[in-house]
Structure 1
């Protein structure tokens, strides 16, 4: 029941995240004015604002001007719902689930904004530090695992420092937005364990590297082309959160 409930909540949150992804890069309010069709400016009716179903009912077109509505909108809603359901499966009914639900929500926003604009907005990343700190502290209090909170602090500093050194060594490779995001993800990963931090941190470079090689081989990029790295950091962190402990244990068993 909790998985189904959070799936439904994820659909609603995903609808709101579409607004955030569109407006934050443009420095617009995410509260006002109400959502409207970007083509004709007509305010979206409430019955046309039901996640996924409204898009299907309208056949992907504005009710007023019949302009096409990108399928990305329902995909973001469905994707957020799936992530929320996975968090429920991973953490169940716990205080920790709140922290990782929050991380999933901002992760969707940051990944899409980075793909669109090659930026990771401070307006989302920086406020997330105190929010995640409070949520992880509540989770430690609820579980009685206070060492996890200290581990999160250390992990955040370590991953932040690692990315900072990379930016200093090769500024063209990534931006300082990646550094700020690294501290956030490092804390979330390390709260779960050192294995999760190691796997999540490494997976970002592995996935980003594979994607870059694919672009080079397909001729869609050259060695001087840049790619947004934030999405791969977030996907790597998701792998670390979901499977990092098991992967790390299996790796140590193989090596040792």
Structure 2
């Protein structure tokens, strides 16, 4: 019964953070302040959303995904982000227990979620999110038993440097930009959390997933210019980073054990 209470508490907390992530996902790529106006508003009519219509998950279900004022449709993504962030909060708690580490693991996942949805829509990764993740990662190194600030710095340099090198070579050989600097900065943030091996795993595994999805999407696309078909890279880096966050020890042990 006690475990169920904690699961529920962390889930509810996560949905609240998810509601704020929806604000970031909507406002940051549009150049709007995440703090002003302080209230949420309907994307259709712009009217402020009352507090009782802004309860995570429940309000969306009660209003059936519509604005009370204008009846305009509110995308299912708002509900999904809140649900996903609630789940992320619970799995963070399962990984860390009741400790300070929860803040940093959940913070990592929350930023990853915001990055993913923004990159899907706009093919950009806001500097504010990468910087917040990097700073959080730096602070995290001072309370971790398995990691030092030097490990984090090496991870950031390897992650960002390696991806920048790939982007530079692609630009020189193809004459077009294949990767945005947002992806490079994201790898500095990810490397600060996961170290050099985790950063390399994120890049290679993320590239593998991205290549498979990209080939399939280009093949299924009705676009006539399939050679210029573009998909954002950030979500695949995000997925690979989350996998390493939770299974990194197993992956690293398997790799170096296999090398032996």
TM-score, scaled relative to structure 1: 0.89
In structure 2, how many angstroms separate the alpha carbons of the residues matched to 1:170 and 1:118? 18
Contact 1:189 1:200 survives alignment (8 Å): no
Per-residue displacement from partner, 1:179-228 (whole Å, max 9, x unpaired)?
A: 111111011112xxx65444333221111111112112323562322211
Confirm or deny that 1:129 pairs with 2:134. Answer: yes
Structure 1: 5+ residue stretches without partners? none
In structure 1, how many angstroms separate the alpha carbons of the residues matched to 2:156 and 2:197? 14
Aligned position for 1:170: 170
Structure 1 residues 126 and 196: alpha-carbon distance in aligned structure 2, compared to 1, 3 A threshold: closer
Q: CA deviation at 1:127?
A: 3.7
Contact 2:163 2:203 survives alignment (8 Å): no
Aligned position for 2:219: 217
Aligned position for 2:201: 199
Confirm or deny that 1:48 pairs with 2:53. Answer: yes
Q: 2:9 aligns with which of 5, 10, 14?
A: 5
Q: 2:87 aligns with which of 79, 82, 85?
A: 82
Per-residue displacement from partner, 1:148-203 (whole Å, max 9, x unpaired)?
A: 3321221111111101101111132111111111111011112xxx6544433322
Structure 2: 5+ residue stretches without partners? 172-176
Structure 1 residues 65 and 241: alpha-carbon distance in aligned structure 2, compared to 1, 3 A threshold: same
TM-score, scaled relative to structure 2: 0.88
Confirm or deny that 1:25 pairs with 2:33. Answer: no
Q: 2:110 aligns with which of 79, 85, 105?
A: 105
In structure 2, how many angstroms separate the alpha carbons of the residues matched to 1:177 and 1:107? 13
In structure 1, how many angstroms separate the alpha carbons of the residues matched to 2:129 and 2:202? 21
Confirm or deny that 1:227 pairs with 2:231. Answer: yes
In structure 2, how many angstroms separate the alpha carbons of the residues matched to 1:93 and 1:214? 42
Q: How many residues align?
A: 248
In structure 1, how many angstroms separate the alpha carbons of the residues matched to 2:217 and 2:149? 39
Confirm or deny that 1:239 pairs with 2:225. Answer: no
In structure 2, how many angstroms separate the alpha carbons of the residues matched to 1:95 and 1:201? 28
List structure 1 runs of 4+ shifted beyond 6 angstroms: none
Give secondary structure in 1 for the equivalent of 2:228: coil
Contact 1:7 1:81 survives alignment (8 Å): yes
Per-residue displacement from partner, 1:56-106 (whole Å, max 9, x unpaired)?
A: 000111111111111110100001111111111122223322212111111
Contact 1:60 1:68 survives alignment (8 Å): yes
